[in-house]
Chains A and B, each alone.
Chain A
Amino acid sequence: MIPDPLFTTAWALLHAGGMLAAAPLLKTVIKKMKARLQNRQGPPLLQGYYDLAKLLQKEPVRSETASWVFVAGPRVYFAAAVAATTLVPVLFASAPLEAAGGILLLVGTLALGRFALATAALDTGSPFGGMGASRDMTIAALAEPALMLGLFASALAAGTMNLGVLVRGLVERGPAWHPSDLLAFAGLFVIVIAETGRIPVDNPATHLELTMIHEAMVLEYSGPDLALVEWASAVKELLYLTLLVNLFMPIGIATSVEAGAVLTSLLAWGGKIFVLAVAVTVAESTNAKLRLFRVPELLSVSLGLAFLALAIRFL
């Protein structure tokens, strides 16, 4: 089943560690670009790391009404995000634990993290936690069919649902895009915006609780708990963008373990993620946040795009 347990473990640890290290940088880059677009300076590029270090050193303050579910929530969310990274190819045309599963397992693992976090949000007895959990789970539920169909569109085109095999197949096929790829990409981009809680679905920088979706769920966390939640959210964002990049444009990805190939792959991946980050920034800065009950319309547009992608390719 697994070729070499020791090698796979080491690779998985390195892979997850690398994603963990790069995630806060992505978040800060997007913040800084947004600030620049608004004629502000924005935070220094390493601010994400400074914030995490600060939070990890603080004492955790927890509610009297909270139980073990509240403590377990961020840790399960973080563990699920980290485990999910090992399923996705980043720098190489294969993922460390790709034998564990493909698209469905990836979506399921992220759903596991979200379940834990939403359940924990109800634990403190604060109404904002319940509101955030309710809204976030609703939007995630509506986004799931579109996410699945979009991923299925590229999986069915390649004839496999295993991400490693898919990317390897794409690399062999070379740059040859089909119009359905564009539609699927557009649909998935909207879903990524929804799943990572960015404008126009959710405002990550809002202070008004009644306008929050994801933030309201994590309102009660402090110290290390909050650090884990923020880090995991950043990792999820990087994961989604990497998935988009490697499913649609895996040019420059390394197919062997040579230093030159790895360096090229790292630069190519970094460049593509940066381009997608610019796209996310532009989407955030040029749109207003949607009313909560307009979000299903946006998500149904995404579902329609994914469905069209399937129809164009296969009918």
Chain B
Amino acid sequence: MAQLNMTGWVAIGVPAALTIRLITVAATALLAGRPRPCRWIASGGSALASALSAMVALQVIAAGRSIEGFLFLHGASGIAFGYTVTPLSAWFLIVLGIVAVPVALYSVPYLAHAVAPSRTALAGAGFNVLLGSVEAVFVANEAVAFLCAWEVMTLSTAALVALEHEQRSSRQAAYLYLVMSHVGAGCLLAAFLILGSHAGSLSFPVMFAVTGLSGSLRDTLFVLFLVGFGVKAGLIPFHIWLPEAHPAAPTNVSTLMSAVLITTGIYGLYRFCAFGLGVPDQAWALGLMGLGMLSALLGVLYALAQTDLKRLLAYSTIENSGIIVLGLGAGMMARAHGHSTLASVAVAASLLHVLNHAVFKGLLFLGAGSVVMANGTRNIEHYGGLLRRMPWTGLFFIAGAMAISGLPLLNGFPSEWLTFQALLMGFTSTAGVVRLNFPLAGAALALTTALSAVCFVRAFGITFLALPRSPQAARAHESPLLMLLPQAWLALLCVGLGLFPGVALGALEGVIASLPGLQSAPMTAGPGGMSSGIGSFDAVIPGLLGVAALTAFLATFLATRRGVVRRVSTWACGGTLTPQTEYTATAFSKPLLMIFTSIYRPRREVDALAGASPYFPQEVRYRAEIEPTFERYVYAPLVRLVLRAASGMRVLQAGSLHTYLAYVLVLAVILLMWLGGTP
């Protein structure tokens, strides 16, 4: 382990990064009237700050020890905001840096095309405030700083989601996001106050060290933390804000929301639910595994029914969040049964998936942003044939699509492989009926992976292949170089992390060692291999298969090469081939909608507008929608209940000053009587 030089740049790295961000925000605000330098300053400052904090984080992971310091220190009043970069925080900071730097580069041309010049300063400043608050969340070491950073993160995201506030959907999405986030933040506040009052301090190390909490109190804290962080992580049933907010925000913000904001929720689940309340109960672990499975399955099923490209990606984020939480739940189950090595395998799988998801989801969102910018619409049914017009975007998008489908040679496969290992070894290590949970989770994970492959064949195929389905798609042109380079970098990372999973896993060993109750397992077999860590259950070297597959591919390609290939038009059953004969995205997922009809409950309306005769309709209107189960059956009744309670309480606001004075008098008397006796 390398020696950590605390007196060097590492000691001031985190405060320096935050200072750079503050300066960038100020400069962006000052340059509000000049969009071009404003964009460059905002993106450049953001990239610099993200890179700096990621480098500090790398040092922390390499050394395996936390670093501490102060962000703000006022000697006279004693106000101090400290920070601690634990190896776990460092891992999340690295994930942040890996995504934030390309997104910053992407923002420069993107903001020019997608955001009005008058809003550029707000977009740039908001971007930096968002990233700065996320970094502060990861490094906060006491509750007040944590909650302040959490709130700033929520508000800046809401501001960015509502950037195009002329559109009603943006306003509604931002409002929904604010309400859900504050419900979560309320739960977090309650949990911190309860835990803090028992521990006597709001500092995290003290709070985590408290013992002697009763079972029901621990359960309450667990549920409060779960709700609070589950909202941010996008776990079902707290997910309803995610599919609205992600599409409404500009793409650089959507990318960050999917890749980074979700991870703040995951980080909270790790720090508080899994490793902050002592040894977890089996019921908690089962709860997390169940929520993870539900999120994964429902996320991908809803993604399959979407025709809005960014909404599809948002639901896919819910799916991957579910997979991460499933791994975490399996780890907690192992810890509950005392298997610390197995727990480390499950936690490693989960953290690895955090990194891999950020990389491929970032890539997919950037590609989607380019496509939306070129076409002017988010509706997949209006795309088509974009591979000819946007070849590089298409190439990078297919790399992301293959990665998210968990195919070998790309980075989705190693983390899902490791999650399977954790689940299977969990099955053999536990006893009793509860062990059947693991093969059930394994089957759910297999179904999720396969369904996400269907989803992304659909997304890529309908968007980029065949003929353009609208005039805009026929006129689309490739994105500028600064938007392609970040995608190329992320695609290269997808391939690199897929062929050399041992590198990321090796970095995780330091993180695993720092978490309480986990024992490191030898999960790497060189930079190119992974093993299941316990016994010799399984091992994989994707690169070896890659060599075999590449050899076979090249041999086949060269052997079947022909000089001249005859190109003819596709047979359209005797008619002319038009875009109308192509398969649509709705049709592609229709079999699955029919098979899972009990989950989707689809409804459709078909109107045929008759022309001269009802047998020759002039126009056919088709409208299909799936049942918004959670919005209609969970949240709508809740909202109605809250509104009813609020209007019931309106009788208290009589409007008369005398009544209010009477309230104060009565309350004062009651309080005196109640508290008067206590010393």
Contacts and interface: CB of A to CB of B under 8 A. Distances in A.
Interface string A132-171: 0111011011101111110010011001111001000000
B581 A127 contact: yes
A145 B595 contact: no
Contact of B572 (A1, A75, A86, A126): A126
A224 interface: yes
A114 B449 CA distance: 13
Contacts of A134: 458, 583, 587-591
Interface stretch (B205-213, B350-358, B399-407, B647-655): B399-407
Contacts of A228: 556, 560
B387 A138 contact: no
A102 interface: yes
A204 interface: no
A156 B569 CA distance: 52
A89 interface: no
Contacts of B661: none
A101 interface: yes
B409 A162 contact: no
A42 interface: no
Contacts of A129: 583
Interface stretch (A105-113, A172-180, A254-262, A268-276): A105-113
Contacts of B552: 16, 78-79, 82-83
A102 B538 CA distance: 7
B466 A159 contact: no
A227 B560 CA distance: 10
Contacts of B538: 101-104, 160-162
A73 to B, nearest CB: 11
A161 B579 CA distance: 47
A148 B157 CA distance: 41
Nearest to A134: B588
Given A63-B570, A65-B467, A126 B545 contact: no
Contacts of B453: 111, 114-115, 137, 141
A145 B579 CA distance: 36
Interface band, chain B: 35 or more
Interface string A78-122: 111011001100000000010111111100110110110011001
A264 interface: no
B566 A105 contact: no
Contact of B568 (A64, A140, A227): A64
A111 B447 CA distance: 12
Contacts of B589: 134
A130 B457 CA distance: 10
Interface string B398-442: 100010011111000100010011001001100001011001001
A122 B583 contact: yes
Interface stretch (A26-34, A278-286, A307-315): A307-315
Contact of B446 (A118, A125, A148): A148
A125 B577 CA distance: 8
Given A119-B465, A129-B583, A135-B591, A104 B540 contact: yes
A12 interface: yes
B146 interface: no
B537 A160 contact: yes
B48 to A, nearest CB: 38
A105 B540 contact: yes
Nearest to A114: B453
Interface stretch (A43-51, A53-61, A236-244): A53-61
Contacts of B454: 137-138, 141
B567 interface: yes
A83 B568 contact: no
Contacts of B420: 104
A275 B552 CA distance: 30
A76 B407 CA distance: 13
Given A97-B544, A125-B570, A145 B388 contact: no
B465 A69 contact: yes
B447 A130 contact: no
B468 to A, nearest CB: 10
Contact of A145 (B447, B542, B565): B447
Given A119-B398, A126-B571, A144 B447 contact: yes
Interface band, chain A: 35 or more
B461 A112 contact: no
Contacts of B564: 59
B451 interface: yes
Contact of A165 (B460, B536, B544, B592): B536
Contacts of B402: 112, 115
A161 B417 CA distance: 11
Given A108-B408, A119-B398, A156-B424, A100 B570 contact: no
Contacts of A162: 536, 538-539
Contacts of A123: 461, 465-466
Contact of B582 (A67, A69, A102, A127): A127
Given A138-B591, A156-B427, A108 B413 contact: yes
Interface in B353-408: 385, 387-388, 398, 402, 405-408
B622 interface: no
A207 to B, nearest CB: 14
Contact of B457 (A62, A65, A97, A115): A115
B673 interface: no
Contacts of A161: 421, 424, 532, 537-538
B562 interface: yes
Contacts of B583: 122, 127, 129-131, 133-134
Contacts of A130: 461, 582-584, 587-588
B582 to A, nearest CB: 5
Given A83-B552, A122-B461, A1 B570 contact: no
B615 interface: no
Contacts of B584: 130
Given A61-B566, A64-B568, A148 B443 contact: yes
A296 B587 contact: no
Contacts of A156: 424, 427-428
Interface in B474-523: none
A220 interface: yes
Contact of B562 (A67, A147, A152, A224): A224
B616 interface: no
- Interface-centre pick from B407, B465, B557 (highest chain A CB count, 10 A): B465
A118 B457 contact: yes
Contacts of A131: 583, 587
A14 interface: no
B610 interface: no
Contacts of A125: 465-467, 570, 577, 579, 581-582
Interface string B541-580: 1101100111011001100101011111111100001010
A59 B562 contact: yes
Given A148-B446, A314-B427, A315-B436, A293 B595 contact: yes
Interface of A: 1-2, 12, 16, 56, 59-65, 67, 69, 75-76, 78-80, 82-83, 86-87, 97, 99-105, 108-109, 111-112, 114-115, 118-119, 122-127, 129-131, 133-135, 137-138, 140-142, 144-149, 152, 155-156, 159-162, 165, 220, 223-225, 227-228, 292-293, 296, 303, 307, 310-311, 314-315
Given A86-B548, A220-B570, 17 more contacts: A83-B549, A97-B545, A101-B540, A101-B544, A101-B545, A115-B402, A122-B457, A124-B570, A125-B465, A126-B577, A126-B582, A130-B583, A131-B583, A131-B587, A137-B453, A142-B447, A152-B439
30 contacts: A56-B560, A60-B566, A76-B553, A82-B548, A82-B549, A100-B548, A101-B408, A105-B408, A105-B417, A108-B406, A111-B453, A112-B408, A122-B461, A124-B570, A125-B466, A125-B467, A125-B577, A125-B581, A126-B572, A130-B461, A130-B582, A130-B583, A134-B587, A138-B592, A144-B450, A156-B428, A161-B537, A165-B536, A227-B560, A296-B595
Query: Which 4 pairs, one residue from A and one from B, show the smallest C-beta to C-beta distance?
Result: A130-B583, A122-B461, A141-B450, A125-B466
